[in-house]
C-alpha cells in the first residue's frame, strides 16, 4: 500500500502561472485535506473534503480551488500563482489520526 501519494514533488512557477497539485490515497478514507507549511508556522488547512463530492474551505483558502474527483483523489489548483504561495503543500487523509503525503515543494518567482 502506497498510503498517500502526491505529485509533483517539486515545482517552480512564475507569477501568474497556474498548476494543479495531485493527491491520491489507497487507504479508503473518506476525509481528505490540503495543508500548507511555512517556516516557523504550524500547518494551516487550505481545503477539506469530508467525502466524495463535497469540499469546504479551511483557514487559508484564498487563491486556491480543489476538486474531489472520486474517493481516492483530491487535487489542489492554483489559478494564478503568487509569490505568497511559495510553500510546502501536504495532502492528508484522516481516520482517527491523520496520514500525510510526502509533500510538494512549490516556489513561485
Partner 1 sequence: KNQVEQSPQSLIILEGKNCTLQCNYTVSPFSNLRWYKQDTGRGPVSLTIMTFSENTKSNGRYTATLDADTKQSSLHITASQLSDSASYICVVSAVDTGRRALTFGSGTRLQVQP
Kindly list the residues in this chain that would bind partner 1 in the complex (CB under 8 A): 4, 31, 33, 40-45, 48, 50, 56, 58-59, 90, 92, 96-103
Whether omega before 67 lies within 30 degrees of 0, making that bond cis, reads no
Kind and range of the H or E element at 91?
Answer: strand 87-95
- The per-residue DSSP string of 30-48 comes to SEEEEEEE-TTS--EEEEE
Residue whose CB is less far from partner 1, 64 or 90: 90
Least distance to partner 1, CB of residue 25, Å: 12
Residue whose CB is less far from partner 1, 4 or 21: 4
Amino acid at each position: 500500500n502506497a498510503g498517500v501519494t502526491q505529485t509533483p514533488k517539486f515545482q517552480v512557477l512564475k507569477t501568474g502561472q497556474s498548476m494543479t497539485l495531485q493527491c491520491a490515497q489507497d487507504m479508503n478514507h473518506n476525509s481528505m485535506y490540503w495543508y500548507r507549511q511555512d517556516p516557523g508556522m504550524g500547518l494551516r488547512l487550505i481545503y477539506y473534503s469530508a467525502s466524495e463530492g463535497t469540499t469546504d474551505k479551511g483557514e487559508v483558502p484564498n487563491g486556491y480551488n480543489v476538486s474531489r474527483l472520486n474517493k481516492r483523489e483530491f487535487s489542489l489548483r492554483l489559478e494564478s500563482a503568487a509569490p505568497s504561495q511559495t510553500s510546502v503543500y501536504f495532502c492528508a487523509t484522516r481516520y482517527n489520526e491523520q496520514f500525510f503525503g510526502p509533500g510538494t515543494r512549490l516556489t513561485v518567482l
